[in-house]
Amino acid sequence: MAVKIAVSVVLLALLFSRIDVGRLWQIARGASLWWLSIALAIFLINTLASTWRWRILLKAQDIDVPSRRLFASFLVAQFFNNFLPSNVGGDVIRISDTARPAGSKTLATTIVLIDRGLGLLGLVLVAALGATAAGTVHPAALPIWPVWLWAGFLAAAAASAPAVLAPGGFGRLLQPLTVFHPEWVGERINTVTSVLERFRERPSVLAECFGGAVFVQASIVVFYFTVAYALHLDVRMWDLAVIVPLSFIVQLLPVSVNGFGVREATFTFYFARIGQPIESALLVSLVAQALVMLFSLLGAAVYVTRKHV
């Protein structure tokens, strides 16, 4: 944790040392509150879509949890992700809230992991589309070639397909893990295999959820674009379609506190390559994150309320 804090503080200090903080604050003060409110509304739509995707996966396993309850759980998960020094706390909440209706923690965990995997695939696809569009304008500025993103997307899809198309074979691949505890591990492998078999019987569910994942990732790009528009910054949508997904991927590295510093450095690197000032990169990143954290406070209210029920 000390290393993570140090990385975040040092990166932010370096970035702020290279700008005029007074000018940064002046631009921030001129932001349109109306457009920032629209950005919050877009993030709400994003959360609702994420909840819908989660519910579809649960229903495919004959687990019926009311949408309102899942939405409340997702809000709490967002709060934990944004205010705890790790983004796995939210997944723990989601698993805990669905383990009882699912009748199995392993089943609830598997669904959350599948949801995460589909989200990551959608993230890479949006990045590939954005890089392809941005490459027609300034190919030399791209931090990664579009073909690499397309190759990564296809490779990930090809690698995950056998788990759904041949669940039995996937289960056999996991069998060596039973050496640690044959009965306990074996039971969980059977649960995972059963989950995958049911999804194989309902391929439309995975297709719907993947479409939902692409929508969720695209709406995050629109959210950032709205923030940039509110700040009166001249940033194109396709450039954000490149850097926003890539910044999320970089934040998966456990080297900072909730991505602070690393996220801003990633934005700064790309913005400099497309001729945008450091101030613009910092504003888009920090204001967007501030709105996300503000929205996440709804999860704190839900969590406190349900703790007293």
Q: Give the mean pLDDT of 188-198.
A: 85
- Between 173 and 233, name the one with better pLDDT: 233
Q: Is 185 left (phi over 0), alpha (psi -120 to 50) or beta?
A: alpha
Do the beta carbons of residue 249 and residue 144 sit within 8 Å?
Answer: no
Q: Is 275 left (phi over 0), alpha (psi -120 to 50) or beta?
A: left
Q: What is the band of 296 on the pLDDT scale with cuts at 50, 70, 90?
A: very high
What was the pLDDT predicted at 88? 65
Percent of the chain with pLDDT over 90: 47
- pLDDT tens digits along 57-113: 999 999 999 999 999 999 999 999 888 766 667 889 999 999 999 888 999 999 999
pLDDT of 308 over the 60 cut: no
Tell me the average pLDDT of the chain: 88
Torsion of CA 250, 230, 237, 25, to 10 degrees: -50
- pLDDT tens digits along 131-159: 898 888 787 778 888 899 999 999 999 98
Three-state DSSP class for residue 146: helix
Q: What is the band of 169 on the pLDDT scale with cuts at 50, 70, 90?
A: confident
Q: Is 103 left (phi over 0), alpha (psi -120 to 50) or beta?
A: left
Q: What is the band of 42 on the pLDDT scale with cuts at 50, 70, 90?
A: very high
Angle, helix 203-230 to helix 182-201, in steps of 10 degrees: 90
Q: Give the mean pLDDT of 38-61.
A: 95
Percent of the chain with pLDDT over 70: 97
What was the pLDDT predicted at 309? 44
What was the pLDDT predicted at 73? 94
- How many of the other CB atoms lie within 10 Å of CB of 124? 22
- Between 39 and 87, name the one with better pLDDT: 39
